[in-house]
Amino acid sequence: MDDWFSLITSISELPGQFAQELDHSGFVVIPGLVANERLSHLADAYDSAVSCAASADVSTGSSTTRVQDFVNRGPEFDELYLYRPILAACCRIITRPFKLSTMHARSVNPNSPVQALHVDFQRETEGWPMVGFIIMVDEFRSENGATRFVPGSHKWPTIPPDSPMNTSADNDGQVLACGPAGSMVIYNGSVWHGHSANQTGEPRRSIQGSYIRRDAEPAVNQAARIRPETLGRIGHLARFVLAV
Ligand SMILES: O=C(O)CCC(=O)C(=O)O
């Protein structure tokens, strides 16, 4: 397993300015990860996967719709969790062997309010740290629910307080992670974040995932969920990061 970690470290690259921004701010937006010519195909595959999902895999909240298990929803999604910048970010932040915890679709529903600021993984708790990613299936804009982050908050010992400040759309110091479709947001799981309000009549679509320490409890047991057809098409690197 250590060999795999060394191999991933050697093949993964996060260009210097992105690495510094991730360290400093706790998140970074990398444009152009999904090639332009693939974007409409990815969006169509997303819509089709979401509409075919069994109801047990769909959670509809007050502002978002989430569909589980994008590891098993088609070959169009296989490369997303293997992009070299996200693997490099995991090597940098987790600093030891890691695995994919989950990969799912999340749409911010049309005309939805802002989401409260939160962390995905509290600092220094069991299994910490975590690295998250968000792939923009649609352009993220200030009016369609782009994710908001509080830069530097991944270094704070506190989590967002349960207060109205948290659900205010204009939290002091927050920055919107805007970018063209095909961009990837990589973030430290301890940074304060949440989606902003979607004031448009269209959903804001994304594919999101997280990586955790290899010995930590995953959100989804990939080995239990993996389908034979997925196993049949993915390579050794994917099997390693899925721990299947
Ligand atoms: O979809 C987003 O922009 C952020 C979602 C998020 O932070 C969450 O659900 O934990």
Mutate to test the pocket of ligand 1, among 176, 178, 190, 208 (most ligand atoms within 8 A of CB): 208
2-156+163-242: CATH superfamily = q2cbj1_9rhob like domain (2.60.120.620)
Q: Tell whether the model's pLDDT for residue 138 goes beyond 70.
A: yes
- Residue 204's pLDDT is 98
* Beta carbon of 194 within 6 Å of any ligand 1 atom: yes
How confident is the model over 45-60, as pLDDT tens digits? 999 999 999 999 999 9
Q: Tell whether the model's pLDDT for residue 2 goes beyond 80.
A: no
What is the Å distance from ligand 1's center to 6 Cα? Answer: 31
- Residue 115's pLDDT is 94
Confidence tier at 35 by pLDDT (50, 70, 90) = very high
Q: Tell whether the model's pLDDT for residue 224 goes beyond 90.
A: yes
Confidence tier at 168 by pLDDT (50, 70, 90) = confident
What is the Å distance from ligand 1's center to 31 Cα? Answer: 19
* Beta carbon of 193 within 6 Å of any ligand 1 atom: yes
What is d(CA 36, CA 26) in angstroms, rounded to the nearest whole number? Answer: 27
Q: What's the rounded mean pLDDT across residues 179-205?
A: 98
Nearest to 94 by CA among 137, 133, 131: 131
Atom number in ligand 1 closest to CA 194: 7
Instruction: Return the domain boundaries, the chain.
Output: 2-156+163-242
Mutate to test the pocket of ligand 1, among 65, 101, 104, 115 (most ligand atoms within 8 A of CB): 115
What is d(CA 8, CA 13) in angstroms, rounded to the nearest whole number? Answer: 9
- Residue 63's pLDDT is 95
Confidence tier at 162 by pLDDT (50, 70, 90) = confident
CA distances from 1 to 87, 99, 110, 126 (A): 15, 11, 44, 21
Q: Tell whether the model's pLDDT for residue 184 goes beyond 70.
A: yes
pTM of the model: 0.96
